[in-house]
Amino acid sequence: LTLDNLYSALSFLKQNKEPLFREVGKRLDKRFGKERATLVFYDVTNAYFETPLTDEEKKREQMDFPERLRAAAKAARLQGELGDECFNDEGEVLVELLPDAFLDAVANEKIQYLRMRGPSKEHRSDLPIVSIALAVDRKGFPLDVEIFAGNCAEMKSMEEAITSLQAKYDIKDSIVVADRGLNSVYNLKKLKEMGLGFCVAQRVTQFPKDLRDKMLDKSLYTPIYAKDPEKARIQMINDYEKTGADGATIKCKLVLTWDEDRYKRDEAILDAWERLIKRKAKNREKVNPKRSGWTSLAKFEGTQTESTIIGVDERAREKKSQFSGYAGLVFAAPDGMEESLDNVSPLELTAVYRQLTQIEDCFFIMKSFLGLRPMYVYNTDHIRGHVILCVLALILIRLLQERLSEFGEHLSIRDITESLNDACVNVSERGGEFYFQPCCRNV
């Protein structure tokens, strides 16, 4: 195999992603049943490239950008947002005549460049990244994957990824499970418009006063453990109305929990922040004042652009401490299942949400054992092909793990991948014929 053969294979995977995933989905449905997709776990990670420059800095556009730009222009014309002067007599787009306002709007869609700097999950803010949105079924098998620009906000990618997934699999009566980074009224309303339900983590620090008082009222909770009622407690608010920044609302159930172990963890984080601030105050360090992370507990003196840390803001520390140990999630049933799921218990919902660790396992496996990152390709088709290859490899390993379990061999993904990596074939040629000889790297 030559390097060109490998690149061609990546291009093939990108070009044939949809039929490949449809066929894999049919095979998995046949083996495990279509009910495997009644729960869809969704999350976003990113992968970095060991190169200092972004695609924008290198002026390397996505390969399909001209096509997507023309499609956006034609759609804008149909909606009356672009005039006829931007098109020739055959209706083709005259790119050079597109107005700056339209081009700026397209730029905001993050479709021009792929490898961009953004919030890195692995704290590699110095390197360009791509965002990878993955949907996984209740058995831990990937359903679909989408790749977005590294500077594309997670919340904005969810609608496109779930729409693509639903079109591919005709998913109905499904509940999408996701973390709070994807929780917005816009996203939740879109899921409901698609006929889907949701079970999504909810930030508890920004509730209005009346709801915050309910959350902090211990008398409204039910103990989770009868033998140790003080260890954890739970309550459900059935008529919660979540309000977005634009005033839009959506009605759903709100589950609130308090857990002693989570309380200890949250307090330990605040204590660590406090020690860090005191150390920096002692050294009179200058920083850009922010209201997130450890800086949210710090007192500053100076300007908005450069301030000196002078100590811990005790009022801010006390305010954050009142939320220690608390967590929330919002839930709504899929269309047509509201009545059957009306009496679902809050414990059942928290159990569903805890299964989100399956998708975290998928990301860990691909990054640790399947070479998802760092990536050493730069062509956007090859980048997408590389991610697709990693996801298909993960599906095969999951199937192998499932098959081994049927024979009583319960091997971890690490055991399986290490065994496969040790199994090699030596290729030799004699008299114009090729011979394949099994061998092992450890021998």
Higher pLDDT residue, 434 or 10? 10
Give the pLDDT score at 442.
53
Residue pair 191/176 in contact (Cβ under 8 Å)? The answer is yes
Mean pLDDT of 22-31: 93
What CATH architecture is 3-54+114-258+327-401?
Alpha-Beta Complex (3.90)
**pLDDT of 340 strictly over 50:** yes
- The dihedrals phi and psi of 161, each to the nearest 5 degrees, come to -65, -45
pLDDT interval class at 124 (50, 70, 90) = confident
pLDDT at 84: 92
Best CA proximity match to 311, nearest among 343, 272, 283: 283
Q: Is the pLDDT of residue 403 over 50?
A: yes
pLDDT at residue 167 tops 60? yes
Q: At residue 332, does pLDDT exceed 80? A: yes
Kindly state the tokens that stand for 390.
């990693």
Residue 441 predicted with pLDDT over 70: no
Buried b (16+ CB within 10 A) or exposed e, 131-168: bbbbbbbbbbbbbbbbbbbbbbbbebbbeebbebbbeb
pLDDT above 90: percentage of residues in the chain: 63
Q: Flag whether pLDDT at 132 surpasses 70.
A: yes
Cβ atoms of 161 and 133 within 8 Å: the answer is yes
Token reading at 309: 């840390």
CB 400, CB 416: distance < 8 Å: yes
In the chain, the amino acid numbered 182 is L
Q: Does the pLDDT value for residue 17 go beyond 60?
A: yes
pLDDT band at 443 (very low <50, low <70, confident <90, very high): very low
Whole-model pTM: value is: 0.84
Average pLDDT of the residues in 357-367: 92
Does the structure show a pLDDT above 60 at 388?
yes
How large is the average pLDDT for residues 138-161? Answer: 89
Domain range annotation of the chain: 3-54+114-258+327-401, 65-108, 263-321
Tens-digit pLDDT profile for residues 216-247:
999 999 999 999 999 999 999 999 999 988 89
**Residues 288-324: tens digit of each pLDDT:** 767 778 888 988 888 776 788 899 999 999 999 999 9
Question: Residue 19's beta-bridge partner residues?
Answer: none
Secondary structure of the chain as H, E, C letters: CCHHHHHHHHHHHHHCHHHHHHHHHHHHHHHHCHHHHCEEEEEEEEEEECCCCCHHHHCCCCCCHHHHHHHHHHHHHHCCCCCHHHECCCCCECHHHCCHHHHHHHHHCCCCCCCECCCCCCCCCCCCEEEEEEEECCCCCEEEEEEEECCCCHHHHHHHHHHHHHHHHCCCCCEEEECHHHCCHHHHHHHHHCCCEEEEEECCCCCCHHHHHHHHCHHHCEECCCCCCCCEEEEEEEEEEEECCCCCEEEEEEEEEEEHHHHHHHHHHHHHHHHHHHHHHHCCCEECCCCCHHHHHEEEEECCCCEEEEEECHHHHHHHHCCCCEEEEEEECCCCCCCCCCCCCHHHHHHHHHCCHHHHHHHHHHHHCCCCCCECCCCHHHHHHHHHHHHHHHHHHHHHHHHHHHCCCCCCHHHHHHHHHHEEEEEEEECCEEEEEEEECCC
Average pLDDT, the chain: 90
CB 216 within 8 A of CB 323: no
pLDDT of residue 265 exceeding 60, the answer is: yes
At residue 160, does pLDDT exceed 60?
A: yes
Can you say whether the dihedral through the CA atoms of 330, 331, 335, 338 is positive or negative?
negative
**What per-residue confidence (pLDDT) applies to 413?**
84
Whether 435 contacts 427, CB under 8 Å: yes
pLDDT at 331: 97
Give pLDDT tens digits for 55-97.
999 999 998 889 889 999 998 999 899 999 999 998 999 999 9
Lowest-pLDDT choice from 153-162, 163-172, 205-214, 328-337: 163-172
